[in-house]
């Protein structure tokens, strides 16, 4: 009885639609019987003026409108579908009703893409890393009570995710504490994973700051081939410009014409002058000229691009050391920041890169790119624990907004597969 008295929303809606269908034939029948009556009169009225006077051109217009009115009458079968929602609507009303619904739909679909938060993009970018970890952890911790064999399997899974041996042992020991020989859910293990990762990364999460005493603040960007150094420089230039800083860019990758062209485009976008030379020009000499011009302009920042070089090529690494020496001839404290751009897809090889560039150029901070294209995002944790270097920013895509200041808790939550950020 309660259902009959209070039908659900869907049933009431369906009842209204069915009721409107039943009422329609009556209204349409009346409309059809009433409309033919004035039509003969209208035809007679149209014929009489045509016989009486030649002013028919003015009166033929209504006669011409009548055929036009008949066409919508022919279209009424197609218009009857929207008429079910609005039985009393006129011929033009159904057309408006049909056109109106599609208009808001693309807006509601486009808005989520524009307003998607940074954590959501970070979580999506690290989904390959977190997905593999979640899969392995679930497979390990849904069988039996916690024992040494399960802990060994967990340690192996963490090492495979490139978190590093030390970090894997640390997490495993924390999982075992107070839980040995008891059942433990995969969610609890992932919570421990996120908490331990956050502990290691939190001291390393430091924004890239400019020293106002140094003008310009010289930033040397280094790394191996293909890590995204040139693109990162363009994005940094954009962010500095948004903060109201004046920037000069040195196109120091003189081996690639494409790198020079790319920085010219970024310079036009951000209003930053680009100092460049011919392909194959001396990179150290170009850096010297760029610093001289930046000082003359009173620029706040000088971003120096460098050619990609493998850490095991002694001659190329020596060229990088030469750039550092030449810049110091103008400003002994320069470069004030040496940013190492690492590609997350390289995995453990990134550790060797960090060591080599640290020895040659004195790396002061790290930017890690391409975290969205790999299941090896844990390498950032291993590098942070080994070198204790500041992590300034990470990249999870190609757009300017996909390079953001590093947040340890967001990263830890994303790598652990959490749905929300971890509070500090």
For domain 217-406, the CATH superfamily is: P-loop containing nucleotide triphosphate hydrolases (3.40.50.300)
Q: Residue 347 has which token pair?
A: 């995995």
Quickly state the pLDDT bin for 34 (edges 50, 70, 90): very low
pLDDT above 90 (res 291)? yes
In three-state form (DSSP H/G/I as H, E/B as E, the rest C), the secondary structure along 132-199 is: HHHHHHHHHCCCCCCCHHHHHHHHHHHHHCCCCHHHHHHHHHHHHCCCCCCCCCHHHHHHHHHHHHHH
Q: What's the pLDDT score for residue 210?
A: 93
d(CA 274, CA 75): 65
User: Can you tell me the distance from the alpha carbon of 1 to that of 4, in angstroms, rounded to the nearest whole number?
Assistant: 5
Please report the pLDDT score of residue 399 as a whole number.
84
List pLDDT tens digits, range 319-366: 899 999 999 999 999 999 999 999 998 888 999 999 999 998 999 999
Contact (CB, 8 A) for 344 and 368: yes
311 band by pLDDT with thresholds 50, 70 and 90:
low
The pLDDT value recorded for residue 309 is: 78
117-171 tens-digit pLDDT: 777 778 887 888 888 899 999 999 986 789 999 999 999 999 999 999 999 999 9
pLDDT reported for residue 421: 57
pLDDT band at 69 (very low <50, low <70, confident <90, very high): very low
Cα–Cα distance between 176 and 24 in angstroms, integer?
A: 72
Task: Answer for the pair 307, 253: CB distance below 8 angstroms, yes or no.
Answer: yes
CA distance to 4, 113, 123, 356, 395, per residue, from 120 (Å): 45, 11, 5, 34, 13
Q: Which pLDDT band, with edges at 50, 70 and 90, does 420 fall under?
A: low
Q: State the Cα–Cα distance between residues 370 and 350, nearest whole angstrom.
A: 13
Contacts with 415 (C-beta within 8 Å, 6 or more apart), sequence order: 126, 129, 130, 133, 193, 194, 197, 377, 378, 381
Q: What pLDDT was estimated at residue 35?
A: 45
Cα angle 292, 295, 296; round to 5 = 85
Mean pLDDT of the region 226-240: 93
pTM of the predicted model as reported, rounded to 2 decimal places = 0.70
pLDDT average, residue stretch 297-312: 89
Per the structure block, which two tokens stand in for 119?
């954590």
Q: Rounded to whole angstroms, how far apart are CA atoms 158 and 391?
A: 21
Instruction: Look up tokens 């090492």; give the residue.
Output: 159
pLDDT at 72 over 50: no
Q: Name the residue ranges covered by the structural domains of the chain.
A: 121-204, 217-406
Backbone angles phi, psi at 155, to 5 degrees: -60, -40
The CATH class, in words, for 121-204 is mainly alpha
Percent of the chain with pLDDT over 90: 50
The confidence score (pLDDT) of residue 386 equals: 92
pLDDT in tens, 359-394: 989 999 999 999 887 778 899 999 999 999 999 999
Across 39-43, average pLDDT: 43
Structure confidence at residue 422 as a pLDDT band (50, 70, 90) = low
């Amino acid at each position: 009885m309660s259902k009959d008295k209070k039908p659900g929303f869907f049933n009431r809606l369906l009842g209204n639609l069915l009721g409107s269908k039943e009422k329609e034939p009556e209204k349409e029948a009346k409309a059809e019987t009433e409309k033919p009556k004035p039509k003969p009169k209208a035809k007679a009225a149209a014929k009489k003026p045509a016989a009486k006077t030649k002013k028919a051109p003015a009166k033929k217009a209504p006669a011409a409108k009548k055929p036009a009115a008949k066409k919508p009458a022919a279209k009424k079968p197609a218009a009857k579908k929207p008429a079910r929602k609005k039985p009393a609507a006129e011929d033009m009303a159904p057309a408006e009703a049909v056109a109106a619904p599609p208009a808001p739909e693309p807006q509601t679909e486009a808005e989520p893409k524009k307003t998607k938060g940074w954590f959501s993009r970070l979580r999506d970018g690290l989904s390959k890393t977190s997905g593999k970890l979640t899969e392995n952890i679930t497979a390990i911790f849904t069988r039996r009570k916690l024992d040494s064999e399960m802990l060994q399997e967990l340690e192996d899974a963490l090492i495979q995710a490139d978190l590093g041996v030390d970090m894997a042992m640390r997490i495993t020991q924390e999982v075992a504490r107070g839980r040995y020989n008891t059942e433990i859910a995969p969610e609890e293990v992932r919570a421990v994973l996120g908490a331990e990762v956050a502990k290691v990364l939190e001291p390393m999460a430091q924004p890239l700051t400019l020293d106002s005493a140094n003008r310009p603040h010289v930033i040397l960007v280094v790394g191996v081939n293909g890590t995204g150094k040139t693109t990162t420089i363009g994005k940094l230039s954009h962010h500095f410009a948004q903060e109201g800083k004046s920037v000069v860019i040195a196109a120091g990758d003189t081996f690639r014409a494409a790198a020079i062209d790319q920085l010219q485009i970024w310079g036009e976008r951000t209003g930053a002058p680009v100092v460049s030379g011919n392909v194959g020009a001396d990179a150290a000499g170009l850096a010297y000229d760029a610093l001289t011009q930046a000082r003359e302009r009173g620029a706040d920042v000088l971003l120096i691009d460098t050619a990609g070089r493998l850490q095991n090529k002694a001659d190329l690494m020596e060229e990088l050391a030469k750039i550092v020496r030449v810049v110091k001839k103008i400003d002994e404290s320069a470069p004030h920041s040496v940013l190492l751009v690492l590609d997350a897809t390289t995995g453990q090889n990134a550790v060797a890169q960090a060591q080599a560039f640290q020895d040659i150029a004195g790396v002061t901070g790290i930017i890690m790119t391409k975290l969205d294209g790999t299941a090896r995002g844990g390498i950032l944790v291993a590098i942070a624990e080994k070198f204790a270097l500041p992590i300034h920013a990470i990249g999870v895509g190609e757009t300017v907004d996909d390079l953001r200041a590093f947040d340890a808790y967001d990263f830890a939550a994303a790598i652990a597969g959490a749905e929300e950020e971890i509070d500090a």
